[in-house]
Structure 1
Amino acid sequence: MRTRSRIRLAMASAIVSLTFAGLPAQAQVFVGQLSGSQEVPPVVSPGTGTATVTLNGNFMTVDVVFANLLGNSNAAHIHCCAPIGANAGIATPLLTFPVGVTSGSFSQVFDMALSFNYSPGFLLANGGNALQARNTLFAGFANGTTYFNLHTSQFPGGEIRGQLLQQSSVVPEPISMVLLGTGLAGLGALRRRRRHDGDDSSA
């Protein structure tokens, strides 16, 4: 009876270990506070906004809110790779970004393993290879050289811009917590079973 309990306990420990090993990739979050003063050269605009980019595996989620633009929005992009105060080419065009408005929001998930999620110039600069383009872009996020730029009718070069800076190293995914909880619950149940088996054998 005790041998079987030890086997069960070992199996439960293995389950917990595999749960940790099999957790999905953790997300990295980058945020840019948007303003005209960050444009290069700076522009005078009451426009404000926030761009949040979440990287998780091959996927890039872009969430943007903006308001009080002087011109109507006509394009938005993620640029790479340049530090604050410098310009860089377009890495990813946000083709479904709302146009013709002065306030609004945007949210979309991009699979960065797909070539069409890069500008032709950025893809060409990375050998026409989506994997290489992804690595370059994600490295740009990591070293703080990506930025979001919102172009308008009044400021074709960009009315508000923000450098995308890392806010959180890791964000545990809900599914990770579920898997971990399941493994620990199994371990606890088998420990209780072990105590119960011990009581039965001594009765």
Structure 2
Amino acid sequence: MKTISKLFPLLALIALFTACQDHDLGGNIITQNDLPLSTFQEPGQINSPATGNAIVSYDKSTRVLTYIVSFSNLTSAPTMGHIHGSAPRGTNAPVLFPFTGIPNATSGTVNGTATLTAAQETDLLNGLFYFNFHTAAYPAGEIRGQIEFYNLSFNVSKKGIPLSGDQEVPAKPGSGTGSGDVSYNKNTKRLSYYVTYSNLSGNPTMGHIHGNAARGANAPVLFPFSGLPASTSGAVNGSVVLTAAQEADLMNGLYYFNFHTATNPGGEIRGQIEL
């Protein structure tokens, strides 16, 4: 009976998250499913197959953040795990809320709650908190996942933006593909992105956000990527703060992701950011 009773809180959380499906419930409870944790979200190069996934719910009336976070294929059992803040993608921040009950295994799940201050609520909703699992091999963090709510009134978001060679001008043949998730906060004017790529003809020599140009036209570099993996498949993430004029161009679909290689120095795969 004790084992079954311990499952009730977790089962209740799963039922809540399943019912919510990334909605704002009555203006008080907001949820987000399928938040990825990956090595690529850690600043610096991490040589590990580890991945993870999280679902979160935040009650604005009580300021309670509830979470379920899974991890798999770590290089060893996690030594620690936390929610960190406040920092956008690509930068680090101190520990705010330690996890409890972390499994002593390379794959597992943790769940819990944290009560926030008003200032912490603002940072959370602005996408400045993240999950982080630490291991002996990577004491600063092996996998990380930024906590971003996509369905807030001041956020404009798009998941699964395709990158391909046929979007290049001129089009580039090849097997390279990619996918991008973006979230733009109209209050802070911060554009956050997580972009994966695969099967490039060689390691990317550069990667950028370009603008301003619609589909079928090229534009200069605006924001270079940092921390590009030295591999033909990988991911990058980061954030940039826009001006009012840049915000208008972004919202008009005039920005695009672009990965360059030695074979295709002008760009091998491209993805138009259309929100």
TM-score (normalizing by structure 1) = 0.56
Decide which of 87, 91, 104 is 1:86's aligned counterpart.
91
Q: 2:78 is matched by which residue type in structure 1?
A: S
Determine if contact 1:35/1:45 at 8 Å carries over to the other structure.
Answer: no
Q: Aligned-residue CA RMSD in angstroms?
A: 2.1
- Is the CA contact (8 Å cut-off) linking 1:34 and 1:50 kept in structure 2? yes
Which whole-Å CA distance do the structure 1 matches of 2:110 and 2:92 have between them? 23
**Greater relative contact order structure (CA < 8 Å, 6+ sep):** 1
What is residue 119 of structure 1 aligned with on the other side? none
Distance 1:162 1:109 in 2: 17
Residue from 139, 149, 153 that aligns with 1:156: 139
Residue of structure 1 equivalent to 2:64: 59
SS at match of 1:46: coil
* Structure 1 letter corresponding to 2:29: A
CA distance in 2, matches of 1:150, 1:84: 16
Residues in 1 aligned to 2:32 and 2:93: alpha-carbon distance in whole angstroms: 18
- Which residue pairs with 2:29 in the alignment? 27
Where 2:134 maps in the other structure, the secondary structure is strand
Contact 1:30/1:141 (8 A) holds in 2: no
Q: In 1, are the aligned partners of 2:81 and 2:131 still within 8 Å (CA)?
A: yes
Q: Find the partner of 1:134 among 117, 129, 137.
A: 117
Give, in whole Å, the separation in 2 of the partners of 1:45 and 1:72.
13
Runs of 4+, deviation exceeding 6 Å: none
| Per-residue deviation, 1:51 | 2.0
Distance in 2, matches of 1:94 and 1:158, equals: 14
Structure with higher strand content: 2
How far 1:41 sits from its partner (Å)? 1.8
Deviates more, 1:55-64 or 1:23-32: 23-32
* CA distance 1:167–1:58, change in 2 (3 Å): same
User: In the alignment, is the contact (CA less than 8 A) between 1:145 and 1:164 conserved in 2?
Assistant: yes
- What's the CA shift string for 1:103-158, capped at 9, x where partnerless? 00112233x1xxxxxxxxxxxxxxxxxxxx62222111111111110111221111
Residue identity in the other structure for 1:81? S
Letter in 2 for 1:140: D
Q: Which has the larger radius of gyration?
A: 1
**Residue in 2 that maps onto 1:36:** 39
Match of 1:103 in 2: 107
Report the AA paired with residue 63 of structure 2.
Answer: N
CA deviations on 1:25-54 (whole Å, 9 max, x unpaired) are 621224531111111123121101112221
Q: Tell me what 1:69 maps to.
A: 74
- Mind listing any 5+ residue stretches in structure 1 that lack a counterpart? 1-22, 113-132, 171-203
What is the aligned partner in structure 1 of residue 129 from structure 2?
146
Counterpart secondary structure, 2:137: coil
In structure 1, how many angstroms separate the alpha carbons of the residues matched to 2:111 and 2:138?
23
Within 2, Cα distance between the matches of 1:81 and 1:142? 11
**SS of the counterpart of 2:119?**
helix
- How many angstroms apart in 1 are the aligned matches of 2:45 and 2:123? 22
- Which residue identity lines up with residue 41 of structure 1 in the other structure? G
Aligned with 2:101: secondary structure?
Answer: coil
Cα deviation for residue 61 of structure 1 reads: 0.7
For these two proteins, the number of residue pairs brought into alignment is 126
Distance 1:137 1:76 in 2: 19
2:67–2:112: 8 Å Cα contact kept in structure 1?
A: yes
- In structure 2, what residue type is equivalent to 1:27? I
